[in-house]
Amino acid sequence: MTSSTLCKMNPPLEAEAGIASRTDAAVLVETGGSREAAGNVAGVPILELRHLYKVFSPHRGHTAEAIALACAGMSKDEILQQTACNVAVRDVSLSIREGEIFVIMGLSGSGKSTLVRHFNRLIEPDSGELLFRGTDVLRLGARALREMRRNHIGMVFQSFALLPHKTVLENVVFGRWIRGDPKVESENVAREWINGRLGLKGYERKYPDELSGGMRQRVGLARALVSEPDVLLMDEAFSALDPLIRGEMQDILLDMQAQLRRTIVFITHDLDEAMKIGSRIAIMKDGVVIQVGTPEGICNAPANDYVRRFVEAR
């Protein structure tokens, strides 16, 4: 079902209570009621971002100036022209609930991929707070951060990121090996995923270059989930696939989510994909989150003309 069809089918909904977030470039609107089939949108926060900023600057001393100009209401382009700084993430506050698929959607350059890399500190923010189950992630030392990445927050990339010299089985089990899980138990769990949930029976001894793109992404998804993370980050995970395989992977993800109820943060530039899989969606532009809501809420009550054009074009 396309997003335009979904918009026509659903009447306007009450505004969703919960997140109160401020931006200096736009008013963040949260819309829509619960969408229980897609996730536990009424659940408690597992991840929280509070007034997060990320500035890419050619000169370290200009970062604070760029943030001050953003707070004063200057646009991204104006700040870039005046300071040569790119304000990639601008005063973002989000609360992600346990068990939901939270989609962050935006065009290239919107800041969505930069933002998601803050959740596991692959990128460090210049200002703001990041909490995982109430723990300040930005205060974690190297050892605690490594433990969080291995045990609590997994990631799937667009480029598959498989180890070319290892078999499907070895790739899937790799995360459990490096954290020291028992070898036999880990391989048994990996085989369950390969042969059952992801439909790759007979491929466990194959190497990545012997697989299609869709198969490789299934392996990448299995590798992330077999470690049983609390949160799974998926950055444009299906974007490189052809439309048919992409739709199949979306269906696989939804089927697994119905069984496992993981918290998933999914990055995409495709509104139809966001509408299909998201419990809630955050729409970004120029580093700012301009609307958060359920698919139905965004369709029926777009926050501004930018969001409305997205909805009407699909």
Residue extents of the structural domains in the chain? 3-55+86-152+229-312
Write the CATH number of the domain with boundaries 3-55+86-152+229-312: 3.40.50.300
CA proximity to 279, closest of 92, 157, 96: 96
Looking at residue 269, its amino acid is H
Tokens of 121: 């500190």
Q: Which residue is listed with tokens 């736009």? A: 26
Burial classification of residue 194, based on how many CB atoms lie within 10 Å of its CB (0-12 exposed, 13-18 middle, 19 or more buried): buried
pLDDT of residue 29: 61
pLDDT of residue 43: 63
* Tens digit of pLDDT at every position of the chain (314 positions): 444 444 443 332 223 323 333 333 444 666 665 454 344 445 679 999 999 999 999 987 899 999 999 999 999 999 999 999 999 999 999 999 999 999 999 999 999 999 999 999 999 999 999 999 999 999 999 999 999 998 899 988 777 688 999 999 999 999 888 888 898 999 999 998 888 888 888 999 999 999 988 888 889 888 888 888 999 999 998 988 889 989 999 999 999 899 889 999 999 999 999 999 999 999 999 999 999 999 999 999 999 999 999 888 87
pLDDT of residue 32: 66
Q: What one-character DSSP code corresponds to residue 167?
A: -
Instruction: Give the integer Cα–Cα distance in Å for 110 and 268.
Output: 11
CA proximity to 52, closest of 94, 80, 104: 94
Tokens of 53: 């900023």
Instruction: Give the integer Cα–Cα distance in Å for 124 and 121.
Output: 5
CA 287 to chain centre: 15
Whether the full predicted model's pTM is greater than 0.75, yes or no, is: yes
pLDDT of residue 28: 61
Contacts of 176 (CB under 8 A, 6+ apart): 186, 189, 190, 226, 227
pLDDT of residue 260: 87
